[in-house]
Amino acid sequence: MDFIIYTGDTARHDRDKQLRRNNSEVIESHKAAIRYFNSTFDLNKTKLFPTIGNLDTFVHNEIQEASRDQLSRSLFQELYEIWEPLNLDLQSTFQEGGYYAYDMPDGPTVISLNSMYFFDKNYDVEDCDTPDSPGAIQLVWLEAQLVKAQNNHRPVYIMSHVPPTERKKLYHPACYSAYVNILGKYSETIAGHFTGHTNDDTLSVLYKTSNSKPSSPFALQALTSKSQLNFKPQDVINVLTNAPSIIPVNNPGFRIYRYDVKDGGLFGWDQYWADLNEGNADGEMTWKMEYSSRDTYGVNKLNKLGWQKLVQNLKTKKKTFSKYSTYVKVLRDQ
């Protein structure tokens, strides 16, 4: 295994009024996660890329830039020290805003964004149409990273916690529009896009719009029903993947991606799951293969042509979309 993409939400929810979280518990959760990864993998050989989720901050959903808020500054400094053994060469952007980029010597550039600066429930930050907002500043940095990667012919993987979605907007409006436009503009450079947060196994399709005067030349559609496949497969330019998590609402899951080391292109993934009912009855978790993207979607490489074929299969093959719908909740209702 070459590297791990860990999409955040390490600390627990703060829903139990009888057992409130405190800052020390949040930090200890981050430390514990790194200990678990370190005891399972040789992190000198397998690179770990973490990101910040909406549960990972001292105040649920809320975080600012370090220069504007003492709590945010304290969190970034703590995470900088906790993640230091990962040798990610964390830049000043991390200490100020919690995001970073890392060029793998024999692989793609990984960009870990702080999606909290786009998140519509983070009331500490303004929308991205405010030029000095943390989200707007991060978008300028992101585009600069993509331009550099494009010029150097380096593929890019973008990872964050909260996904951009059209169905249920999770981003501030201006942040969403600007972000989707960047994804479309640099779709040839972005070889993969990975998020979490919703706990569901879903795909969001990025495609060129056909309107005569669209506000943006690109649109994004999260797939939750077949009726949403109302665009032409040949207009698809990329697909964003959202992986399930380990919360007990659904069955827990994780996935292993296969990728081309030459161009960073994804060949696909194998999705694993554990049946909570069986685990609770037996007192032991057993991980099993849930599905492979290659067998389920009939695609061998997930580049633009591969994603177009995948969307075509979802549109025209009844069983393909039925399987997709079954896997969204990790076989919860089976």
Q: Is residue 39 part of a domain?
A: no
Q: Is residue 60 part of a domain?
A: no
Q: Is residue 180 part of a domain?
A: yes
Average pLDDT of the chain, as a whole number: 95
By the 8 A CB rule, do 160 and 6 touch? no
Q: Is residue 205 part of a domain?
A: yes
The mean pLDDT of 271-277, rounded to a whole number, is: 94
pLDDT in tens, 142-195: 999 999 999 999 999 999 999 998 777 899 999 999 999 999 999 999 999 999
The mean pLDDT of 112-127, rounded to a whole number, is: 98
pTM of the model: 0.96
Percentage of residues in the chain having pLDDT higher than 90:
89
Q: Is residue 185 part of a domain?
A: yes
Q: Which amino acid is at 173?
A: P
What pLDDT sits at residue 40?
Answer: 96
The tokens describing 68, both together, are 């504007």
CA 6 remoteness from chain centre:
8
Question: Hey, is 320 helix, strand or coil?
Answer: helix
Question: Hey, is 2 helix, strand or coil?
Answer: coil
Question: Hey, is 158 helix, strand or coil?
Answer: strand
Q: Is residue 2 part of a domain?
A: no
The mean pLDDT of 119-140, rounded to a whole number, is: 98
Exposed/middle/buried for residue 170 (C-beta within 10 Å: 0-12, 13-18, 19+): buried
What pLDDT sits at residue 149?
Answer: 98
> Count of CB atoms within 10 A of residue 132's CB?
9
pLDDT in tens, 188-238: 999 999 999 999 999 999 999 976 556 679 999 999 899 999 999 999 999
In terms of Cα–Cα distance, which of 195, 194, 191, 222 is closest to 206? 222
Q: Is residue 333 part of a domain?
A: no
Query: What span, in angstroms and rounded, lies between the C-alpha atoms of 257 and 267?
Result: 7
Q: Is residue 269 part of a domain?
A: yes
pLDDT in tens, 3-50: 999 999 999 998 888 899 999 999 999 999 999 999 999 999 999 999
Number of domains in the chain: 1
Domain holding 300, by residue range, is: 66-327
